[in-house]
Structure 1
Amino acid sequence: MFKEYLLEEIDIMTQSLKFIYLGKLKSLIKFTRYDSIRSDVENILSSEEPLETRLKNILNNHSDLFLEVNKDITINKAHKYSAIFALEGDVNIDGILRDTVIQTSGLSIEKMAEKKMLKFTQFLNGIKPLEEGTLYFKTTYTMCAKFWEITQYEEIHRFVEITVDNVGPQFRDGKMSFFPNRINYIKNFIETHNSLLLVPIDFSEVLNEIRKENEAAEVRMNVPKISGQRMVLSSGSEATLQSNISEEIVLPILGDLKQLIRDNENLFNTSKDIKELLNNFIQDTEEWSEFPWINLTWDNKVKSKSIQVKFELNNYEYTFLNYYHHKNGRGRVDDVVKYLIEEYCTTRNRILREPFAKIS
């Protein structure tokens, strides 16, 4: 079934992805384990046939080689959407990876112990109605569960990040709910087959801390920039600002007021009642307003290494992460996830310790 779906998937691949397959096939065939087929593969790859025909010929005649390239591409690419869950209890990640079943209906599962990851593949059928008839498509669809473990304050914290790939509307009935439904599907699978409890993480407190950092006079190294935000006041008024990864933005409404106070500090110091009223308004508005989504950008000295992530806060139990298009692969996403779970642990420990600090 895998081969059948991949053959049709090649037809709907983007041209850039086809060239990625071509490049990786040319690199992989140089390894000694493929000595016996190298000449035939090189002849196919160097032919003047259309690129999709060459890829199909490799898949048909040398499927092991093609599937190895497919695995490498799918586990190293950055998927489009994700959510992060805390693992409850004294769980053993190596044991989870070892004990996960790999035989299940309608789902192919691969274990990658060295990456602390499970790769899930589903086989999707799609349709696209046209005036002259209906087009039918097949494609493989990948989802991953990556396990994380960090130590902080002499405590070990474990997490699982579930990521799902993007796919065309013909495979999801044009509904965005397809992606959170896939995340929930993998969450339920892991809980059921491994007897685990995955607790959804809401990153609101972490994002509030990042928002405060962005407004500080001096921002710590590696703190992401807010590059977009939607704010809904208790009155129902809304404000939305968005920028690209190279622009600075002033946050909606409150950012303007805070900047006004900073720029005219001497004037406001002579009118402390007005300054207090404005500060109280800002504090109350921040406390009672909703932020349906916020964009963060992790900058890099090399501009092409920057990555922008949208955090959707109100639609699901967890914070839904949407990675905007970038070419940095899985590695740059790992940087983002590591930052988030470390900040989450720091924030949670601070909140837990605050009541005791106040009592003392």
Structure 2
Amino acid sequence: MADDLHTSGDYKQQVIATVNEIYPKYIQKEILAKLDKLDLVKLKKNQATKPSDAVDLTDVQEDDQLIRGLESDNVLKEIEKREFFKSYHFAAIFNATPKDDNIFTELEKSTKVVNFKSPDYKHDAIFDNQLESAKTIPTRLGIGNVSLLKFSKLLTGYTQTGEKRQIKYNVLGVYFSHLGVLEIRFDKVRNIFQQEDELFYHNQVEFVVKWFREVAKFELENINLAAIINFINKKDQDEVIIHSQAMSMSTGAKAELYTGQTGNSVLPLLGELKELIRLHEDLFEESPKIKDILDKFIAETESTSDLPWISLRWKGDDKNEGTVVKFRHNYENKGYTLLSYYGRQTIMEKMDYVTKYIIDNRKELERIESDIAEEIGETARDNPAV
């Protein structure tokens, strides 16, 4: 079992190898542009004077500039900082309750957590993927009522020619104290780094869940996202629309339904049937039996069909193309929902917004259910024979 990589030289080489292996060129260019703006590197000869510790990359080929820049500790730390703030492809959300509100401060004192802002901070500790979660030491960054804990793993894979490859793979645990939720974020990774682990992505979730339960002593429980997503879909709102949906029907038939590319948010089949009834409401009022038959068919199909996944699209604006998120309920039969974010990598704000939107709607749904339960209780008291 491998220990964490203690030496700065080893760590730096792992980060360089990771950039070479998994950072797309467009991401490298975006990072270089930010480093340039921060005066950490110099990209063009005709630029204004830079600080003496800025890395001069003016004579370095564009494809090699970020790699060369990583020779600087300042650039390296900026890459580590970005790992907290970037968006990730996957996420899972859990109810989270700490037994001690100051737990992260206590864990830092006992060196079970490293503070990214500490003057003693050197770099993330990378651990072998097989190491028990309780023995890992995450790096923490606190921002207001949000604590981000980065778990860094060393993944090893082999190409078809037998060439060994290693990357630094991050799994982020984001605790929103004001929302009472823990969100676990992580990225896709090539099959060669999964080492034939069919539950690789679930195991990343389980790894962080175990650490929060065993080390940080959090109480965690699954969130019924299926009910919340269903509530959002039926709300009278236009911010979030269905993008696509899978249905496994009671007859054994299966279907994957996608909205059109014309901006029409109506799903095929049931969605179109509902829209048809709505548009010709006056005609159906003249034939109430037919409308009742169709309504019953729609209701029975929806209630008896399994919906293994659904994708929603948060509408964008002139500067933002919007956010598409796929929700896979009961992922790998483990009880929680896996969220998949589509599109180019961006900043974490879009993930934060989706999480807050979901939790806000959960609170609204809980209020409605509470009001209904209270009304039923009052009716029962007023009519004891009912």
Going from structure 1 to structure 2, the CA distance change for 1:20 and 1:262 (only over 3 Å counts) comes to: closer
Cα offset for 1:353?
A: 3.9
Contact 2:40–2:54 (CA under 8 A) maintained in structure 1: no
The answer for the alignment partner of 1:98 in structure 2 is 105
Residue 231 (structure 2) aligns with: 209
- For residues 20-59 of structure 1, what are the structure 2 equivalents within 5 Å? 20-29=30-39, 38-39=51-52, 41-43=54-56, 45-49=57-61, 51-52=63-64, 54-59=65-70
The Cα of 1:212 is off from its aligned counterpart by: 1.6
The answer to whether structure 1 residue 289 and structure 2 residue 305 are counterparts is yes
Deviations 1:302-324 (A, max 9, x none): 26341100000133311110000
Is 2:28 the counterpart of 1:11? no
Q: What is the Cα deviation at residue 265 of structure 1?
A: 1.8
Give the C-alpha shift of residue 15 in structure 1: 1.6
State yes or no: 1:159 paired with 2:181: yes
Change (3 A) 1:262 1:191: same
Note the residue ranges of structure 1 that are not aligned, 5 or more in a row.
32-36, 151-156, 214-218
SS in 1 for 2:317: coil
**Partner SS state of residue 329, structure 1:** coil
Alpha-carbon distance in structure 2 between the residues aligned to 1:40 and 1:290: 59
Which residue does 2:363 correspond to in 1?
345
Structure 2 matches for 1:274-313, cutoff 5 A? 274-302=290-318, 304-313=320-329
Deviates more, 1:347-356 or 1:116-125: 347-356
> How far is 1:199 from its partner?
0.5
Partner residue of 2:209? Answer: 187
Residue in 2 that maps onto 1:334: 352
Answer yes or no: is the 8 Å Cα contact 1:307–1:326 preserved in 2: no
RMSD (CA atoms): 2.5
Per the alignment, do residues 91 and 245 of structure 1 end up closer, same or farther by CA in structure 2, a change over 3 Å counting?
farther
Note if contact 1:58-1:66 (Cα within 8 Å) is conserved in structure 2. yes
8 Å CA contact 1:305–1:328 kept in 2: the answer is no
Partners of 2:261 and 2:280 lie apart in 1 by 29
Contact 1:245-1:297 within 8 A present in 2 as well? no
Post-superposition Cα deviations, 1:279-328, rounded to whole Å, max 9, x if no partner, equal 12222222111111111011122263411000001333111100002344
2:120 corresponds to: none
Q: Is the 8 A contact 2:40 2:75 kept in 1?
A: no
Residue in structure 1 matched with residue 343 of structure 2 by the alignment:
325
Deviating more after overlay: 334-343 vs 278-287:
278-287
> Structure 2: which amino acid aligns with 1:102?
V
Cross-structure match for 1:34: none
- 1:234 matches 2:250: yes
Q: Secondary structure at the match of 1:182?
A: helix
Alignment equivalent of 1:140, drawn from 157, 168, 181: 168
Question: Structure 1 279/27 Cα, relative in aligned 2: closer, same or farther at 3 Å?
Answer: same
Seen in structure 2, the aligned counterparts of structure 1 residues 307 and 174 have a Cα distance that, compared at 3 Å, is farther
Stretch deviating more after TM superposition (162-171 or 251-260): 251-260
Query: Is this contact kept in 1: 2:242–2:266, CA < 8 A?
Result: no
Partner in structure 2 of residue 73 of structure 1: 82
Question: How many Å separate the matches in 2 of 1:70 and 1:332?
Answer: 20
Relative distance call for 1:256 and 1:245 in structure 2 (3 A) is closer
User: Is the alpha carbon distance of 1:99 and 1:348 closer, same or farther for their aligned partners in structure 2, counting shifts above 3 Å?
Assistant: farther
Matching residue of 1:199 = 221
Q: Deviations over 1:43-98 (max 9, x none)?
A: 3x11234633x4344333x2x21222112221111011001000146652xx2332
The 3-state SS of whatever aligns with 1:194 is coil
- Offset, 1:339: 0.2
TM-score by length of 2: 0.79
Give the aligned residue type for 1:7: I
Matched, 1:261 2:274: no
- The CA deviation at 1:243 is 4.1
1:176 and 1:309 map into 2 onto residues whose CA distance is 23
CA drift at 1:17: 2.4
Task: State whether residues 21 and 69 of structure 1, in contact with CA within 8 Å, keep that contact through their aligned partners in structure 2.
Answer: no
Which residue number in structure 2 is paired with residue 314 of structure 1? 330
Higher helix share: 1
Give me the TM-score of the superposition, normalised by structure 1.
0.84
Which amino acid counterpart does residue 105 of structure 2 have in structure 1?
R
In structure 1, how many angstroms separate the alpha carbons of the residues matched to 2:98 and 2:53?
A: 53
SS in 2 for 1:210: helix
2:119 aligned residue: none
**In structure 1, how many angstroms separate the alpha carbons of the residues matched to 2:223 and 2:217?**
19
Aligned partners of 2:261, 2:169: CA distance in 1, in Å? Answer: 29
Identity of aligned residues (%): 25
Q: Which amino acid aligns with 1:68?
A: K
SS in 1 for 2:348: helix
Q: 3-state DSSP class of the match of 1:48?
A: coil
CA contact (8 A) 2:88 2:345 kept: no
CA distance in structure 1 between the partners assigned to 2:61 and 2:324 by the alignment = 38
The one-letter code matched in structure 2 to 1:122 is: K
- The residue identity in structure 2 corresponding to 1:346 is E
Alignment partner, residue 153 of structure 1: none
Amino acid across the alignment from 1:281: F
- Please name the residue that 1:216 is paired with: none
Moved more, 331-340 or 100-109: 100-109
